[in-house]
Amino acid sequence: MPKYKRQRVNDSVMQEISLIVREVKDPRVGMITVTGAEVSGDLKYAKIFFSAFDGDVKETMKGLKSASGFIRSQLARRLNLRATPELTFVHDNSVSHGAEIAAILSTLDIHDDEGTENEDGDV
């Protein structure tokens, strides 16, 4: 499959799954964000990357695994693909990692070494 087509399929799968996950009634699946999707070239497998904002990540993974049949059937209805991929959910901690880095950067006190004034008018 050409690279541009695979990227379109990845984007479509990610978009639809982010909508489908809202309909999952399993209480273990709390507020999550789908951050990416990687579909194999033969459309048989898909890795779905997600970030969980509340609850235990392991419990969220169990909830998503138990709801994967529902999610897959809804995906088949919404997307016209040759084959509906088997879904594997992978926790993506890049959002929390980015928040940690932003918090660290906000605590740094950076001074201009050349003695010139910065934007605040400080020396």
- How far are the Cα atoms of 45, 72, 107 from residue 53, in angstroms, in the given order? 26, 23, 23
Range of the domain at 22: 3-106
How does pLDDT run across 66-115, given as a tens digit for each residue? 999 999 999 999 998 888 999 999 998 877 788 888 888 888 877 766 65
Residues near 7 by beta carbon (within 8 Å), at least 6 away in sequence: none
Please give the tally of structural domains in the chain: 1
The CATH number for 99's domain is 3.30.300.20
- Flag whether the pTM goes above 0.85: no
Q: Determine what percent of the chain is predicted with pLDDT higher than 70.
A: 90
Tokens of 6: 């695979």
> How high is the pLDDT of residue 54?
79
Tell me, yes or no, whether 111 lies in a domain.
no
Average pLDDT, the chain: 87
Residue 44 covered by a domain? yes
